[in-house]
Amino acid sequence: MLDREKIWTGQINDVARDTAFDRVVGIYDTTLRDGEQTVGVALPPEAKLEIARALDRLGVNRIEAGFPRVSADDYHAFELILDAGLDAEIWGFSRAVPTDVDQLVELGLKASVIEAPISDGKLAAYGLDRGQVTDRIRAAVEHAVGNGIAVCFFGVDGSRADPAFLQDVYRAAVASGASEIALVDTLGIAAPEAVAGLIQAAREWVGPDVPIHWHGHDDFGLATAGSIEAVRAGADWVQGTINGMGERAGNTDLAEFVIAIEAIYGAQTSLRLEHIGEVAETVRRLSGYDLAPWKPVTGHNLFIRESGAVAAQFHDPAAIEPYSSTLVGARRGLVLGKKSGLASIQIKADELGLAVAENQQARLLEQVKEVAIRNGGLVSNEEFAAMVSAMGTAAGGSP
């Protein structure tokens, strides 16, 4: 749980508080499956194991370790992760296909998502009708449950499915033995208010004792908002990925969701966000993509300051930041550039242990701006130290 003394959001969000958030929300990570569907990402077994260990340190409740039927490497990744002795539950992923379920059984998995397309558009693309897909769902769920696997049924493209069929298919899955359900916005098209309505409807379909997951995508930039509204409406679990990675615009970014649901809305999760920086970097490095430096929670620039006006307040983090950098294990810092001010010069000199007289600061600032413009970016610590040294030499002091 976040230390509320380190959250500096004032009172404006009191209007958003709701007793619906006075509980613990489960975190289900699908970085190793849905996240790996990011174009160009191919994680070998050892990389998946490294990510799984990082997710476990982060405090993720459930790790979906991939889709074992994809390849021999993916199957082996499951073996490595299952043997790693992690605290998190390890979940599998399967289509509503008997051979997929057989591999879950071979691996000795105790829990898995089982998916099937349920929108008319998806069914048409696969050449299936509603009766055929319902029969497949029943058979797959019964096969898995009969072999000791707890099932969460996952209806692909459910947000675009016919509501009557949506209700029928989830009820059929639960009647066949699914102990949990996931409502799925495959193309990220659902407004947050629509998400809430869907969760509330599903609660009526399956009753009060069946845990409900929300699985959202970010095609319209609404994944975090939709996940929050899912929780408000009663969802027990939120599925997502580290860094929001995934196909197209990606999945719900778990770090963004968790800091919002805890800091703004007052819910609780298991995530230890002080580790999020290292985990995000591990996933980024092994996946081979870059992150925008201004990305919420894990962006490199969040606690780094260049502006002179802000630098003058740098000594008071609550004046310039919405929450403490320590909550997310980030480093605060100040850099020199075109937008620096006199306060920036003194702070950077103190940081580097350089002696700068007050009457030298204005000239140094002028030089910093000139070099920054010439560089088209920032002034390095080495460049600044050289300026200070040269100024000291020109003034007859020690170089």
Give one DSSP letter per residue of 91-123, joined into a string: EEEEES-HHHHHHHHHHT-SEEEEEEE-SHHHH
Query: What contacts 346, CB < 8 A, 6 or more positions away?
Result: 356, 361
In a domain, 123, yes or no: yes
- If asked whether residues 337 and 268 sit together in one domain, one would say no
Do residues 141 and 176 lie in contact, with contact meaning Cβ atoms separated by under 8 Å? yes
Domain that holds residue 342: 304-394
Quote the pLDDT of residue 204: 97
User: pLDDT tens digits for the chain (399 residues)?
Assistant: 789 999 999 999 999 889 999 999 999 999 999 999 999 999 999 999 999 999 999 999 999 999 999 999 999 999 999 999 999 999 999 999 999 999 999 999 999 999 999 999 999 999 999 999 999 999 999 999 999 999 999 999 999 999 999 999 999 999 999 999 999 999 999 999 999 999 999 999 999 999 999 999 999 999 999 999 999 999 999 999 999 999 999 999 999 999 999 999 999 999 999 999 999 999 999 999 999 999 999 999 999 999 999 989 999 999 999 999 999 999 999 999 999 999 999 999 999 999 999 899 999 999 999 999 999 999 999 999 999 998 876 555 444
- If asked whether residues 73 and 144 sit together in one domain, one would say yes
In a domain, 296, yes or no: no
In a domain, 10, yes or no: no
The single residue listed with the structure tokens 């962006």 is 299
How many distinct structural domains can be found in the chain? Answer: 2
- If asked whether residues 44 and 146 sit together in one domain, one would say yes
CA-based angle 32:37:42, to the nearest 5? 70
Cα dihedral 112, 116, 117, 123 in deg (nearest 10): 170
Quote the pLDDT of residue 399: 42
Q: Is the pTM of this model over 0.75?
A: yes
Of 287, 316, 333, the residue that ends a domain is: 287
| Other Cβ atoms within 10 Å of 309 Cβ, number | 12
3-state secondary structure of 353: coil
Of 252, 287, 322, the residue that ends a domain is: 287
Nearest Cα residue to 115 out of 126, 309, 322: 126
- If asked whether residues 315 and 207 sit together in one domain, one would say no
CA separation for the pair 375, 370 (Å, rounded): 9
In a domain, 13, yes or no: no
- If asked whether residues 245 and 308 sit together in one domain, one would say no
- If asked whether residues 333 and 223 sit together in one domain, one would say no
- If asked whether residues 238 and 324 sit together in one domain, one would say no
In a domain, 316, yes or no: yes
3-state secondary structure of 87: coil
The single residue listed with the structure tokens 């996946």 is 287
Which DSSP helix (H) or strand (E) runs through 352? helix 342-352
Quote the pLDDT of residue 1: 78
- If asked whether residues 309 and 350 sit together in one domain, one would say yes
- If asked whether residues 278 and 341 sit together in one domain, one would say no
In a domain, 399, yes or no: no
Quote the pLDDT of residue 16: 87
In a domain, 4, yes or no: no
- If asked whether residues 29 and 154 sit together in one domain, one would say yes
- Where would I find the beta strands (DSSP E) of the chain? 26-29, 62-64, 89-95, 111-117, 150-156, 180-185, 212-216, 237-240, 304-305, 333-334, 336-337, 378-379
In a domain, 6, yes or no: no
The single residue listed with the structure tokens 């920054």 is 372
CA separation for the pair 52, 104 (Å, rounded): 18
- If asked whether residues 258 and 358 sit together in one domain, one would say no
- If asked whether residues 164 and 309 sit together in one domain, one would say no
Of 287, 318, 343, the residue that ends a domain is: 287
Instruction: For residue 85, give the CATH number of its domain.
Output: 3.20.20.70
